[in-house]
Structure 1
Amino acid sequence: MTSPTETRADTTVIRALKKLRVPQTQRNRELWLLLFAFVINAAAVALVQLGANGAIDATFLIYCGGLTALVLALHIVLRLVARDADPFVVPIATVLTGLGIAMIYRIDLYWDEHGWAATSTRQLAWAAIAVVGAIAVVVALRNYRVLFRYTYLFGLAGILLMLLPIVPGLGADANADVWVDLGIFSFQPGELAKIALAIFFAGYLVRTRESLTSVGSRFLGITWPRARELGPLLVIWLASLGIIVLQRDLGTGLLIFGMFVAMLYVATGKTSWVLIGLLLASAGAFLASRVLPYVAGRFENWLNAFDPDLYEAGAGTYQLANGIFGLAEGGLVGTGLGQGRPWMTPLSQSDYIFPSLGEEIGLIGVFAILCLYMVFVSRGFRIGLAGQDDFGKLLATGLSFTLALQVFIMVGGVTRLIPLTGLTTPFLAAGGSSLIANWIIVALLLRISDAVRSRPRVVIG
């Protein structure tokens, strides 16, 4: 007779074998979406070449093929080590990255007879490094919960990264002190700092959630936290103001504060934290606009974008107004890839890449891009809501909200919905730091989503 122990062992082996034979549904769906993404990216580059030069240059398409191969390598790695990861995250990131490269290449073609040898080639190289970095994170970080052990180490790393630009000899010559110049290349440490701080916030809130959710005073139908629980929020608020003052970086200050408030709300479920955060953000913006000349200038340009005097001024509204003119020129369907004049707007490859795209692919095209961002963020929220543990839930939600807030700040700034700040549009804008950081976010979301589907529920904290 077979013993109960042997029977259970045989049953376990049979289940494991069945699981191996089951088709990788998530990965198959991802593969089809990736093939569609590759077609879109190749078509965008080809249309740029036809629109600008009337002929197709195979050289740059071959370069883009190298990036395609790396994305396929990431897909294969996911089949091997994270078969249950979300199937939509990588294809969306691939499409957005490819569209950004196509538009940067389009502007290069105007400024340089051999556009493939300018900014677009550097962007391709950075994109390749970013995808390789994502592969490394997926392979090395088998269990994302290990990050929870180093909560305060990530907090320290985030602070040090934020302080790097103001270290004498490291800061680059720019409008805002957000760049570090290493001689060979420059990078924005704030892009990596937002990931480190997201990990720190998630770990910190898991550890302190009980005290933050303690009963407070009820007023106007809302339970407000006690004064001693306001400490962490006030510290982050003051740190955000410090970034705005010391680095003249309004965008990063808003991003860090907004990320913390959002994660605080998810951790506690208390609406009062959101209201307090909005009040503090409004008070900080008002104080900064009254005390800091460059912030006051941003508000002045926002309110009077088409004032002739400001338009002609050195640091006036020329860039903002030209971006809006470009969007208006694009209309509903755009001028066509390679047939607009996006180069007329300063920084059209980086800060103003969204208006550049809007001019050539029109309102329908930019709405499609915004829908891609919306789906990406919604998948991140879904991963967070289905999280097995509080740390993973907060980390996925915080990273997704950070990307959503960054898109809102940039798109709102260039369309004059809000004052313009100095951030990058995720995946689209030229810049290696942003690409690497955003693909690391992709890798973290993949790891968390794989754990959600493949392992039993666990509680941390």
Structure 2
Amino acid sequence: MSGGQSGNAARSRDVEALLLVLALMIGAGASATVSLDRHQPLGQDFWIQVAIQAVLAAGIHTILRLRAKYADPLILPIVVALNGVGIAAIQSLDQAAGSDAGTNQLRWTGLSMLVAALVVWFLRDHRKLGRYTFIALAVSVLLLVLPLVPGISAGDINGASVWIRLGPMTFQPGEIAKITLAVFFAGYLSTHRDLILLAGRKIGPLQFPRVKDLGPMVTAWAAAVGLLVFQHDLGMSVLFFGLFMVMIYVATSRVTWLGLGLVLMAAGMYGAAKIFPHVALRIDAWQNAFDPAVYGRFPGGSSQVVQGLFGMASGGLVGEGLGLGRPDLVPFANSDMIVASLGEGLGVIGLFAIVLLYLLLFTRGFRAALGTKDAFGKLLACGLSFAMALQCFIIIAGVTRLIPLTGLTTPFLSAGGSSLLANWVIVALLLGISHSAREPGPQGTGSAHGHAALRAPEPVLVPRNPHDEDVKRGE
């Protein structure tokens, strides 16, 4: 490695270190605001929390210097800042509601960052995951079936059966399944892409692959979405469907697949609204949110969405402060409705800043996908980045009443250990892929080759007649 290349890697990590200091200050400042707005001193718990977050962030940063020195320098600071703001928001709700979810979120943050550090340390080459394509499929099915297994199922919680019980805790396996499904889709599409593109029958503008080529993917998607529908988890069903369609589009570059996916999604939503009462109630609550009969209905009422809108409206432009206001009046304020709570505390300006951080995070993930040379890494990075982006859109659009509200969490902000763990693993994978994309030299993939891996196959070349050139020249 030349001195210039080594210097670029060191500068990237130095930039990351400076941004991490800023990110930690944002999280610590948010937690301090919660106490100061309530006229409480910064006690020992506050300083312990700041120290834990600083040590964990410094640990991952050190591992990146040793194992992934070319990794994107913006991803880790963005996530640390979002995670810190989320802990502060949950703590502000704890004081109003008399709960202890903030401490639990800090514990899960420690575990999640430790797991992320282990992923970065041991998984130096993301392409190794491609060897376990069908194992990832089997693990995905197992994770989605677990909430239905008697003895470990946590039963119906808030209208959904998607949790398992691990001692005193509950865990949502579907959050991990989105990672394993992305690994399966990336591994299968990267090895079967040419067959999907070239074999099969063309009907109009669509080139339909053979059933045996696309069958395993369709079966995996149908099983995942079917299980989640019967578990009453509409949000995760939409997330898996979007992941499925986007990864096919990235692999094939066929816009017609996206059009077909939108048609199927619309048909599926219409069918679900007709077949499943809980879906119909959510759509009705979205359309008629301010109807008094719908507002007070239980279950399936619109009070949660309406109270969230009122809370964001009371926050105004600059917010009432994280420790002030009454965000606890909104049901599930620290999980499903954390965006509304932050809107009341930080105002429109604070919410826009959070959304911009998310947009920057997603674009860095997509940039890693564009930069890496191997098709598996490109598909995996794109799928994982899109999964986080779609999850954010679904929950933020639901809270603001753009679409019907679903029970998804906001990545890194909402209370919930399974979501936090899964998203930190996604971050670790994106850091590893970005290292491969930015690493120079023969082993690196570099952005110069980033678009080559998933181009349409070259046409078969027919041997050329030497006399053809003579004809073209008029000879």
TM-score computed with the length of structure 1 as normaliser: 0.91
1:228-285 superposed Cα distances (whole Å, 9 cap, x missing partner): 4664565355335413432111011111111010010000000111111111111111
Q: Which moved more, 1:142-151 or 1:18-27?
A: 18-27
Question: Do 1:384 and 1:396's aligned partners in 2 also have CA atoms closer than 8 Å?
Answer: yes
Question: Do 1:70 and 1:128's aligned partners in 2 also have CA atoms closer than 8 Å?
Answer: yes
Change (3 A) 1:434 1:444: same
Residue 57 of structure 1: how far off its partner (Å)? 2.9
Equivalence for 1:39: 25
Equivalence for 2:403: 418
Runs of at least 5 residues in structure 2 that lack an aligned partner in the other structure: 455-475
Match of 1:80 among 66, 70, 77: 66
Counterpart amino acid of residue 42 in structure 2: I
Question: Do 1:241 and 1:284's aligned partners in 2 also have CA atoms closer than 8 Å?
Answer: no
Residue 61 of structure 1: how far off its partner (Å)? 3.1
The correspondence of residues 323-334 of structure 1 with structure 2, limited to 5 A, is 323-334=308-319
The correspondence of residues 167-206 of structure 1 with structure 2, limited to 5 A, is 167-173=149-155, 174=157, 175-206=159-190
Equivalence for 1:280: 264
Separation of aligned partners in 2, 1:241 and 1:434: 18
Query: Secondary structure in 2 aligned to 1:403?
Result: helix
Equivalence for 1:441: 426
Equivalence for 1:298: 282
Separation of aligned partners in 2, 1:69 and 1:128: 10
The correspondence of residues 20-419 of structure 1 with structure 2, limited to 5 A, is 24-112=10-98, 118-173=100-155, 174=157, 175-214=159-198, 217=202, 219=204, 222-226=205-209, 228=211, 231=215, 234-236=218-220, 238-315=222-299, 316-419=301-404
Separation of aligned partners in 2, 1:34 and 1:119: 25
Residue 159 of structure 1: how far off its partner (Å)? 0.9
Query: Secondary structure in 1 aligned to 2:290?
Result: coil
Q: How many residue pairs were aligned?
A: 441
Counterpart amino acid of residue 456 in structure 1: G
TM-score computed with the length of structure 2 as normaliser: 0.89
Separation of aligned partners in 2, 1:50 and 1:319: 29
Change (3 A) 1:150 1:217: same
Question: What is the root-mean-square deviation of aligned Cα atoms in Å?
Answer: 2.0
Counterpart amino acid of residue 265 in structure 1: Y
Counterpart amino acid of residue 416 in structure 2: G
Separation of aligned partners in 1, 2:110 and 2:214: 43
Separation of aligned partners in 1, 2:167 and 2:130: 35
Counterpart amino acid of residue 129 in structure 1: L
Q: Share of identical aligned residues, percent?
A: 46
Query: Secondary structure in 2 aligned to 1:256?
Result: helix
Separation of aligned partners in 1, 2:424 and 2:218: 31
Separation of aligned partners in 1, 2:34 and 2:198: 58
Equivalence for 1:3: none
Runs of at least 5 residues in structure 1 that lack an aligned partner in the other structure: 1-14
Query: Secondary structure in 2 aligned to 1:217?
Result: strand
Query: Secondary structure in 1 aligned to 2:153?
Result: coil
